């Protein structure tokens, strides 16, 4: 990869994406066979927001490559609680680790951190901004199930605050993908994201009803309403539960449709869907390890 830091999906060219996904496929075929690749390498995990998948799969990926991780732990148990700035925290931890993975509630935090350190910084989610490594594993899963060209994908849910959507939509502009954005009016893509997508040559088709597009889709990417980003809880309640996928919803879908979700889900996909052929979200989460192995292998 050409870039020292990975901050936004906008940095990823088609060539970068294909190189990471090809390497990830090699790691997925035999994850245990690479434990000498990065012995002695230490990855710093700095998670200022909750995480299960992203943090644990980075941890597993680094260890599968023979390296190890050091973890700042929760904000409550770190010096952040004493008022330490992000800049100071990362300047200290760069002395302990060979690369840093950062998740933070503020948009722009990873970019800011990258300006203070010399080791590579990977953005593991910055507020409602970007989440480029999630995108790489999403693309890996899409490629396995539907292919990345001639793809028709519905992206549904919280398109305003959902950082996984902002990154995925941008990365898909590298491919010949028809993107259909389905959300309540109040949770449409932010102006800036729409502008960037159009600038990258994409058409932005927006819908409020899934039925308008469902039968055309190869992939339906469902997202959680990002409750923690709503300035007003009433506003959240007015849209919560508006889009829910159950077995009945999928009756009119293409039989080959893959239903994806970055997880965690709350109630967007009912558990009855889990047993259907369409359900791809757990497999998607599992690909986080080989994809992050591939990314670390390129960056380190």
Interaction site with ligand NCD (CB under 6 A): 53-54, 125, 131, 134, 163-164, 224, 262-263
Q: Which CB atom, from 54 or from 114, has the smaller least distance to ligand NCD?
A: 54
Q: Which CB atom, from 188 or from 224, has the smaller least distance to ligand NCD?
A: 224
Which spans in 65-218 are helix H? 86-93, 109-114, 132-145, 163-172, 191-199
Quote the longest CA-to-CA distance of the chain: 55
Q: Which CB atom, from 38 or from 131, has the smaller least distance to ligand NCD?
A: 131
Which spans in the chain are helix H? 14-29, 53-64, 86-93, 109-114, 132-145, 163-172, 191-199, 233-239, 281-286, 288-299
Q: Which CB atom, from 20 or from 225, has the smaller least distance to ligand NCD?
A: 225
Q: Which tokens sit at 233? A: 């809880």
* In contact, 249 and 210? CB cutoff 8 Å: yes
Minimum CB separation of residue 163 from ligand NCD in Å reads 5
Tokens 């009756």 -> residue? 251
Minimum CB separation of residue 134 from ligand NCD in Å reads 5
Cβ neighbours around 149 below 10 Å, total: 9
H/E stretch holding 126: strand 121-126
Minimum CB separation of residue 164 from ligand NCD in Å reads 5
Minimum CB separation of residue 157 from ligand NCD in Å reads 9
Q: Which CB atom, from 164 or from 174, has the smaller least distance to ligand NCD?
A: 164
Minimum CB separation of residue 224 from ligand NCD in Å reads 4
How far is 63 from 57, CA to CA, in rounded Å?
A: 10
Angle CA(150)–CA(156)–CA(158) in degrees, nearest 5? 140
How far is 46 from 71, CA to CA, in rounded Å?
A: 6
Q: Which CB atom, from 263 or from 273, has the smaller least distance to ligand NCD?
A: 263
How far is 90 from 298, CA to CA, in rounded Å?
A: 22
Q: Which tokens sit at 178? A: 């028809």
- Residues with a known catalytic role: 53-54, 82, 103, 131
Q: Which tokens sit at 48? A: 């200022």
Strands across the sheet with 177-182, in order?
205-207, 177-182, 151-156, 219-222, 258-260
Minimum CB separation of residue 262 from ligand NCD in Å reads 4
């Amino acid at each position: 990869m050409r870039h020292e830091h990975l901050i936004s999906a906008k940095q990823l060219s088609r060539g970068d994406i294909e190189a990471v996904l090809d390497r990830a496929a090699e790691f997925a075929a035999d994850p245990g066979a690479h434990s000498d690749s990065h012995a002695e390498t230490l990855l710093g995990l700095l998670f200022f927001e909750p995480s299960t998948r992203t943090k644990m799969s980075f941890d597993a990926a680094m260890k599968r490559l023979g390296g190890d991780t050091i973890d700042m732990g929760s904000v409550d148990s770190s010096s952040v609680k004493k008022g330490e700035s992000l800049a100071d925290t990362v300047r200290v931890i760069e002395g302990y680790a060979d690369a840093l993975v950062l998740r933070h509630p503020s948009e722009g935090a990873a970019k800011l951190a990258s300006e203070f350190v010399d080791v590579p910084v990977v953005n593991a989610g910055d507020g409602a901004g970007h989440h480029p490594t999630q995108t790489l594993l999403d693309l890996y899963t899409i490629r396995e199930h539907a292919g990345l060209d001639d793809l028709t994908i519905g992206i549904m849910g919280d398109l305003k605050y959902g950082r996984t959507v902002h990154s995925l939509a941008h990365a898909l502009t590298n491919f010949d993908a028809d993107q259909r954005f389905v959300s309540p009016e109040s949770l449409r893509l932010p102006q800036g994201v729409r502008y960037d997508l159009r600038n990258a040559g994409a058409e932005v088709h927006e819908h409020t009803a899934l039925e308008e597009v469902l039968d055309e889709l190869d992939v339906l990417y469902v997202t959680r309403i990002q409750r923690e980003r709503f300035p007003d809880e009433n506003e959240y309640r007015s849209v919560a539960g508006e889009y829910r996928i159950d077995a009945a919803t999928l009756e009119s879908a293409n039989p080959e449709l893959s239903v994806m979700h970055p997880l965690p889900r709350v109630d967007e996909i009912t558990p009855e869907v889990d047993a259907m052929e369409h359900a791809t979200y757990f497999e998607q989460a599992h690909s986080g390890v080989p994809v992050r192995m591939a990314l670390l292998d390129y960056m380190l």
